[in-house]
Amino acid sequence: MKCKRCGELAAVKLPSHHAGFCPSCFEGFFKKQVETAVRRHGMIGRDEKVLVAVSGGKDSLALMRVLTDLGHVVEGLHVHLGIPDSSDPVAERTKAFCAANGLTLHVLHTAEHGLAVPDVKDAVRRPVCAVCGKIKRHYFNRFAYENGFAALATGHNLDDETARLFANVLRWDPAYLGTQGPTLPGEGKFVRKIKPLYRLTEFETAAYCFLKGIDHWKAACPYSGGASFTGHKKLIADLEDRSPGQKTAFYEAFLAQGRPHFAGASRGEGQDTLYACAQCGFPSSGEVCGVCRVREQVATHKARREAV
Ligand code: SF4
Ligand code: ZN
């Protein structure tokens, strides 16, 4: 197969675009998809500073690289969760990538905030991933807000977004359907959330990393019980195999025709009003936010353990 743009031998075949690209033209295609996403969804204004949530995986490193190459002012934040045999090597790999590429990276240790994830796992009764996700979202937003970033960018790709949409449609969850999208506007202490990779598939970000020599972290977190939405992703991948382009069509049609019907949908009784958390001051649906409550639980659990 020949490259659609220059006629050289294609290195990446994309059935959904009826095209193949050589390495250089694939990079051009990749950047164009991000540029289109940013422009269409008003993600980044002129001279605005963007914080990238950097896990160390392929999507977040690709995102950091491509936004920088497109001329945006970007810094990264890596949240170190204190998980044995995992958090240290991930953080080291992420730091090495940023240093080699001249990118600014901040590292925040949740242990310094009384929230090392192994302690959280011991202290709470809920599945650790639900709580860990809440902690990461809190600190990414808080860091962005307190350090004057206009937007927080995450590496969600088209596979993540279609799988989430499919799950929300299966439940006909109006509040989630009303807010799911590539840009969530900022409000008060919530900074704008953006997903510049939403037009690119997992395969495409993996190919980009491979061709650019981006050495990302591949091992799963030891606490992971399997990636979320795995089953949904398999179903959608099957549809895509049979009919290339389905993923993009499903998601773009939702944005154009589905989402407007759910705009402003309520989260349920008592869930829509936000207060300032009495401890950290960030938005909360109760007097104390979920993250500060978990911190209290961890402290209580530790104190009990030490007392016996
Ligand atoms: Fe946190 Fe779960 Fe992800 Fe591990 S797999 S980093 S515990 S959300
Ligand atoms: Zn709080």
Residue 272 annotated as lining a ligand binding site: no
CB 274 within 8 A of CB 92: no
Q: Under DSSP, is residue 151 helix (H, G, I), strand (E, B) or coil?
A: strand
Ligand 1 contact via 133 beta carbon (within 6 Å): yes
Q: What is the pLDDT of residues 63-79, one digit of tens each?
A: 999 999 999 999 999 99
Q: What is the pLDDT of residues 21-58, one digit of tens each?
A: 999 999 999 999 999 999 999 999 989 999 999 999 99
Domains of the chain as residue ranges with CATH: 26-214+243-271 (3.40.50.620)
Compute the average pLDDT of residues 74-103.
96
Query: Which residues have CB atoms below 5 A from the ion given as ligand 2?
Result: 277, 279-280, 289, 292
pLDDT at site 256: 96
Query: Among 44, 99, 98, 95, which Cα is nearest to 73's?
Result: 44
**Which of 47-56, 99-108, 286-295, 299-308 comes out lowest in average pLDDT?**
299-308
Ligand 1 contact via 128 beta carbon (within 6 Å): yes
Binned at pLDDT 50, 70 and 90, residue 227 comes out as: low
Binned at pLDDT 50, 70 and 90, residue 90 comes out as: very high
- pLDDT reading at 226 higher than 70: no
Ligand 1 contact via 124 beta carbon (within 6 Å): no
Residue 59 annotated as lining a ligand binding site: yes
Atom 7 (ligand 1) nearest CA: 129
Return the best residue to mutate from 81, 87, 121, 132 for the ligand 1 pocket (most ligand atoms within 8 A of CB).
132
CB 79 within 8 A of CB 136: yes
Return the best residue to mutate from 117, 131, 160 for the ligand 1 pocket (most ligand atoms within 8 A of CB).
117
Distance CA 87, CA 38 (A): 31
Compute the average pLDDT of residues 5-32.
96
pTM exceeding 0.90: yes
Residue 221 annotated as lining a ligand binding site: no
The angle that helices 230-242 and 246-253 make with each other, rounded to 10 degrees, is 110
Which residues are paired to 253 by β-bridges?
A: none
Report the share of the chain in percent with pLDDT over 90: 89
Q: What is the pLDDT of residues 244-269, one digit of tens each?
A: 999 999 999 999 999 999 998 877 76
Distance CA 194, CA 51 (A): 10
Ligand nearest to the CA of 116: 1
DSSP assignment, residue 22? Answer: -
Residue 209 annotated as lining a ligand binding site: no
Query: Rounded to the nearest whole angstrom, what is the distance from the C-alpha of residue 51 to the centroid of ligand 1?
Result: 21
pLDDT at site 273: 86
In the numeric block, the tokens 């949908």 are attached to 265
CB 199 within 8 A of CB 159: no
Compute the average pLDDT of residues 87-101.
96
Within 10 Å of residue 8's Cβ, how many Cβ atoms? Answer: 14
**What is the Cα Rg of the chain in Å?**
20
Compute the average pLDDT of residues 82-107.
96
Q: Average pLDDT, whole number, for the chain?
A: 95
H-assigned helices in 213-289: 230-242, 246-253
